[in-house]
Structure 1
């Protein structure tokens, strides 16, 4: 499992590669939309939810892995043949260590890490843990819970490009504030364990929309606020934070449910983290206004 996770981590790094690649092809005014559309690829989670079990039942437990491996090889061939760097792209003359240290010294790196850990990390955490939560809280069957999770993922995926596009129109900071207010309101309602139909379902949909909107806006923020020469390095840090943000909450939620028999405390912690993201976003906006004033 550790070895498999290592290679999956290498494959996951391609997301960090893709953001500066996409950025280089678009002017700043359209980078939010471009990175938002690029982020629709996270819909692979929904595809796997719909196809993994049928593939296993039809062709055995190895089938999903074989299909994925074939898809990766085909994509690698297509990328080799048709993808190339933008004409304006220039390689960095700095060493990898100095490039990394430069990204670490930028305040926006750590701000975006927190924001993405909440937005994308929250999306990943819910997509992983939601079936268990629905079964334990509402007594759903595994199949019903999985399909509802897939619906959650689809809503988040659809909203991600809207987050990028909206960031181009009204700014990434305002878009993030909208997304976090939506997540906070949904978390506040879910903490009281509402009935699944209709209020609970509406809450989960609002949560998915807010997380998807925020995921698209964070990389728009990076594209707009970070120096173009370190966008790739900053994106790498931010992407790692998103992965970490998706890893920790399911462990916390499982421990809380085992200790208390309810997920409410975990949802309250999400609410607190979201309010923290609102504060960080406000600081980012104030820093951006100061930079614009001194420019």
Structure 2
């Protein structure tokens, strides 16, 4: 088995290009592929980590923005909603950018682009700046949300199907940790009496480091190409939209709560910025760390089963939050919110593992085998990930808008939590009906008729 070549793939294409890549070949994987894939995973995680930090920057900055900034709670929820919205929308073009520029090359570009919102925020972050200016700069920070989509698409190409749950979970979890890390940095700075510009000044050189390391240590894969037919096929496939719906419940919850947690503590329980900062990082941190566990559990037991039980847990945690909110119990509220974060992270890992498994299952049902089945699965799962990631992130927009309306209408977040509980119940029903109940019926039919392979999603 030849090692992958990193010579330029064709004249005029700069950078490190791998011309041969077949991770499903076990000999290739053991001799060469695994080492290369893990190296690219490491530096992909670093860049995505910084991207998440910049995307969720305004969840931290609003804690610094006291009465002298002249912003109402509704203004702040609107600001974080719009940042989340941009992060969701740019995930679609970021997904296709990997094939156009190469995974390594786009990582360099996307990391470097983070300098724009960071330097802009450093420039305007002071009392007297208009809300519209803050809103515009916040929208720029949304590009950090796109790094997730390009990173996941890139890493999906490097690993074999049997390792995707672990690899994608680790990649996403390492990126998600950017949320609590920037919140921890803000806690340290607030505690030391520093201002928001100190925080921004720390991240500017870190962005440069991430871009430089991507240039030095990552690779492009030549055979990763944009397939407009695959994109159309993925968009037409009902499973893309079903998984997008389920991902709204997991990742949409994670990112939405990451933006909103500190503001809820301030507005509903009267916490100071420092008091809020002491606890806001805990949920995102644990939710990020647990994501690879969700992927690994999905590899072992099936993503559909883990996702189903996870939604039960999210529903219970939300019910406790409603009770704690009505009773004004800060301790119970905080614990339940942290548990909800953990479950959202676990579900992030299990749902993303389901995506390649679903399309691989469809390939087998079509009668494909071996590399043909793997190629079909990679083609559609890679194309669907950008759409699923984008729609999932829109859940964060919905959460912040729901909190905004709940505080405007009721003066607390209780109304929003009731809506979230209903949504998690819907996610449970969809997961069971599409990926567990129906697959069981298919298995029975197959056993009875000994027909050709049938669709069975129970193990995806």
TM over 0.5: yes
Aligned to 1:76: 211
Q: Deviations along 1:230-285, whole A, 9 cap, x unmatched?
A: 33331111221232111121121121122122322211110100011112212341
The partner residue of 2:277 within 119, 131, 146 is 146
Q: Is structure 2 residue 184 aligned with structure 1 residue 50?
A: yes
Q: Is structure 2 residue 394 aligned with structure 1 residue 261?
A: no
Which secondary structure state, in structure 2, belongs to the residue aligned with residue 192 of structure 1? Answer: helix
Aligned to 2:238: 107
Deviates more, 1:186-195 or 1:239-248: 186-195
Structure 2: segments with no counterpart, 5+ residues = 1-133, 360-376, 447-452, 456-460
Aligned to 1:17: 150
Correspondence 1:98-247 to 2 at 5 A: 98-193=229-324, 194=327, 196=329, 198-226=331-359, 227-247=377-397
The partner residue of 1:90 within 223, 237, 244 is 223
Q: Distance in 1 between matches of 2:279 and 2:195?
A: 24
**Does structure 2 retain, via aligned residues, the 8 Å contact 1:16–1:232?**
no
More helix by share: 1
With over 3 angstroms needed to count, the CA separation of the structure-2 counterparts of 1:91 and 1:128, relative to structure 1, is closer
Structure with the bigger RCO (C-alpha within 8 Å, sep 6+) is: 1
Q: Distance in 1 between matches of 2:220 and 2:301?
A: 29
Which secondary structure state, in structure 1, belongs to the residue aligned with residue 225 of structure 2? Answer: coil
Correspondence 1:280-291 to 2 at 5 A: 280-286=430-436, 290=442
Q: Distance in 1 between matches of 2:262 and 2:201?
A: 25
Aligned to 1:31: 164
With over 3 angstroms needed to count, the CA separation of the structure-2 counterparts of 1:38 and 1:233, relative to structure 1, is same
With over 3 angstroms needed to count, the CA separation of the structure-2 counterparts of 1:220 and 1:288, relative to structure 1, is farther
Which secondary structure state, in structure 1, belongs to the residue aligned with residue 271 of structure 2? Answer: coil
**Does structure 1 retain, via aligned residues, the 8 Å contact 2:187–2:278?**
no
Which secondary structure state, in structure 2, belongs to the residue aligned with residue 92 of structure 1? Answer: coil
Structure 1: segments with no counterpart, 5+ residues = none
**Does structure 1 retain, via aligned residues, the 8 Å contact 2:269–2:330?**
no
With over 3 angstroms needed to count, the CA separation of the structure-2 counterparts of 1:15 and 1:196, relative to structure 1, is same
For the pair shown, which has the larger CA radius of gyration, 1 or 2? 2
Number of residue pairs matched by the alignment:
291
Deviates more, 1:133-142 or 1:237-246: 133-142
Q: Distance in 1 between matches of 2:338 and 2:194?
A: 33
With over 3 angstroms needed to count, the CA separation of the structure-2 counterparts of 1:210 and 1:53, relative to structure 1, is closer
Q: TM-score, normalised by structure 1?
A: 0.87
Q: What is the CA distance between 1:144 and its match in structure 2?
A: 1.5
**Does structure 2 retain, via aligned residues, the 8 Å contact 1:114–1:241?**
yes
Q: Distance in 1 between matches of 2:143 and 2:249?
A: 22
RMSD: 2.6
With over 3 angstroms needed to count, the CA separation of the structure-2 counterparts of 1:27 and 1:245, relative to structure 1, is same
Aligned to 2:74: none
